[in-house]
Amino acid sequence: MHWDDERRLPVVLAVDDTPENLTVIGAMLEGVAQVKVANSGEKALRVAEAAAPDLVLLDVMMPVMDGYAVCRELKARARTRDVPVIFLTARSSVEDERHGLELGAVDYITKPISPPILLARVHTHLAMKRASDFLRDNNAFLTQEVERRIAENLAIQNATIQVVTSLAETRDPETGNHIRGTQHYVRALATQLARDPRHAQQLGSECIDTLYRSAPLHDIGKVGIPDQILLKPGRLTPEEFGIMKQHARLGVEAIERAEQQLGMQVDFLRTAKQIAGGHHEKWDGTGYPEGLRGEDIPLAARLMGVADVYDALISRRVYKDSMPHAAAMAIMRRGRGSHFDPEVLDAFLAIEPEIQAIAARYADTDEELERKQFAQRFVVGAANARQDRA
């Protein structure tokens, strides 16, 4: 029933195999409800499916299909399962009434029918149906609104990540395909690791989605590294490498400032902070910036650590050629238990064909490498000129 239309009378379906009873019920409910009638169980189901009544008054003792069978079928159908059913019957035993209520009926009125009792029960259950429909409609609206807000927030988060990572790409032209490649490696790796019962609970679908969305922020701290070091076309000196290593802390600090501005904890920022701060930690404790060891390193960072090293090995840079996939995998295997979490690396090795396909998809072309070389030479030249003027 559309309860917001006050001019519309509710629909009551009366079901009885005796025509006189249907006539009496119709007269009793005149002006209270639109009464539709059915003289058999089969017809009652057809009328109920078509009319979607607000209440069913149902005789029990009918040939072929009795009232209990009709009620059972009404409750099994999506269109009529929420329609209240009142049994009208000459059966007055407690057992009969118990059976009717167990089938889903809301009330049980014995014959001969008392008009005041029938009207009172009809008014009561129609009012309850109206309240139930109102709550159901509002719950559906609220559910849709919550889903819309969640989708909106995810879109804002994704847009924010894209803006921030685009900013990182303007500082370091090499990061574009690296960001996208490592993002897909992490998702594939986490999905594989989740097949292990020891990690299945921690790596649910929502967690893997959060990892995927957070992964592009793993090197965001490089925005704070001077151009002469960040874009140097060659091996860094120990002093320069010491400055470069600060990007892990800088990334954590940047994300922490974002959390402070929000005034709340957000899953994807918490995960992004773990990744940014820990993806250069090593399983044996020789990594940076904290020298964390083993499972003290967040799982998100251990996943990114594997993805980051592999991508660095196979990617072309202005100061080095790309390494063949087989050679890169050999280096990864040698790092099992020292650089990498053994279980995470084993999961990585188990999906080698998928990893190789992702690598091919995000490999730099000659044109892209030439563009990066030009951009780096330009930015470094400008940075050196500013330093000379200073």
Q: Mean pLDDT throughout 60-75?
A: 93
Q: What architecture is domain 11-142?
A: 3-Layer(aba) Sandwich (3.40)
- Picking from 123-127, 185-189, 221-225, which range would have the lowest pLDDT averaged per residue? 221-225
- Check whether the bond before 112 is cis (ω within 30° of 0): yes
pLDDT at 169: 60
Where along the chain do the CATH 1.10.3210.10 domains lie? 173-389
Q: Give buried/exposed letters for 236-253 (b at 16+ CB in 10 A, else e).
A: eeeebeebbbbbbbbbbb
Determine how many CB atoms are found less than 10 A away from the CB of residue 118. 18
Closest CA to 179 of 200, 192, 163: 163
The stretch 274-302 carries a mean pLDDT of 97
Q: Which residue has the higher pLDDT, 164 or 229?
A: 229
Question: What gap in Å lies between CA 166 and CA 286, rounded to an integer?
Answer: 31
Q: What's the token pair of residue 381? A: 């030249």
> What mean pLDDT is predicted for residues 303-310?
96
Residue 82 has pLDDT above 70, yes or no: yes
Closest CA to 73 of 48, 55, 90, 50: 48
**Does the pLDDT value for residue 3 go beyond 50?**
no
- Exposed (0-12), middle (13-18) or buried (19+): which is 341, by Cβ within 10 Å? buried
Percent of the chain with pLDDT over 90: 56
The residues of the chain that CATH labels 3.40.50.2300 are 11-142
Name which of 379, 386, 364 is nearest 170 in CA terms: 379
Q: d(Cα 305, Cα 350) in Å, to the nearest integer?
A: 17
Evaluate if residue 245 carries a pLDDT over 90. yes
State the pLDDT confidence band at 180, using cuts at 50, 70 and 90: confident
- Decide if 310 contacts 355 (C-beta within 8 A): yes
The correct CATH number of 173-389 out of 1.10.3210.10, 1.10.10.10, 2.20.28.120, 3.40.50.2300 is 1.10.3210.10
pLDDT of residue 376: 53
Which pLDDT score, from 0 to 100, does residue 189 have? 97
pLDDT at 318: 61
Render pLDDT for 325-338 as a digit per residue (tens, 0 to 9).
999 999 999 999 99
pLDDT in tens, 370-387: 555 555 555 555 545 555
pTM: 0.59
